[in-house]
Structure 1
Amino acid sequence: MKQTPKHESRHSVGLRVIAIYEVVKTVGLILVAIAAFHLNRTQNFEHLVHWLEHLSLADSNGLRWKLVNLLEDMGPSKFVAVGIVALAYAAIFAVEGIGLWLRKSWAEWFTVITTGSLIPLEIYETLHHFGWLKLATLVGNVVIIIYLVHVALQSRKSNAHTS
């Protein structure tokens, strides 16, 4: 029976947590895509806007009206593009999640590259349109990148010593 070093089993847990996070993002984006494709129909779109306009909530910060204005600016036709982009990102996150769950070294580097490629945009968004969720996402993604680089380099070292 093959024995795994202690650090590899510890990293298995970390990789599994990241894999689950990627799958959650995948499911969320698939739901966004389904909603976007549903809102492509003018009747559904107008029904949602009407519902939001007449929703009786204590709306102290105007978030509901910002959403109504955003939806009206976009119009129903742009939701197909939103759905396609959401599905494309869902596919990327699914590949990352499955690869990390299976402990594939390519998945570690793929996740580092894809997550790292969005860091400049996340920094811009956080600095110019600050929000605590944006900051948490930025910090979380930086931590994931650092962790995965550490795991990938450690795996490479242990493979070099066993060869």
Structure 2
Amino acid sequence: MNRGIVLIGFFKLLKGVLFVLLGIGAFRLIHRDVLDVVTGWLINMHFDPESRLVNLVLDKAALIDAHRMKQISIAIFCYAGLDFIEGTGLVLEKSWAEYLTLVLTASFLPWEFFEILRHPTWLKAVLTLVNLLVVVYLLFYVQWSLRQKRKKATQEAQEGEG
């Protein structure tokens, strides 16, 4: 059992659960006034109503209608589904899951780097670093695994000849 692969699998499953919860929250906002909901959250959390950040959030919330919220909900649930597929495959130590996780995680890295350059935050930087470490680990693990399989096949072929 490779603990690193299984650990990544559990991380993906946890992300999947968190995205399902986020998707449910987004889905519940479909027929509500998002601006009113966000304003209530900001007031309850005691944010300064005059701050630039609060005004930016409120401006963006005002642009979200029911159709857009449905699209956001669907996208969140699809992403959760991918995390569940990857996580389950990795926990079960399936080779296809290693490749799928490697390709999907690596494919999101350019977007994550772009987002950090556009609006840098510590959270984005940490999450991108985690994803980068997952990609590097999987690259090395997949290469090592392929070498082991070739070595085993060569040994079996030599034993079959002898």
Aligned mate of 1:101, from 67, 91, 103: 91
Gaps of 5+ in 2: 154-162
TM-score by length of 1: 0.83
| Equivalences, count | 152
Matches within 5 A, 1:1-163: 9=1, 12-42=2-32, 45=34, 48-49=37-38, 51-52=40-41, 54-55=43-44, 57-59=46-48, 61-163=51-153
1:22 Cα deviation after fit: 0.4
Identity of aligned residues (%): 26
In 2, Cα distance between equivalents of 1:65 and 1:52: 13
Gaps of 5+ in 1: 1-8
1:17 Cα deviation after fit: 1.2
Corresponding letter in the other structure for 1:23: L
In 2, Cα distance between equivalents of 1:158 and 1:130: 41
In 2, Cα distance between equivalents of 1:17 and 1:56: 34
In 1, Cα distance between equivalents of 2:42 and 2:89: 44
Aligned to 1:6: none
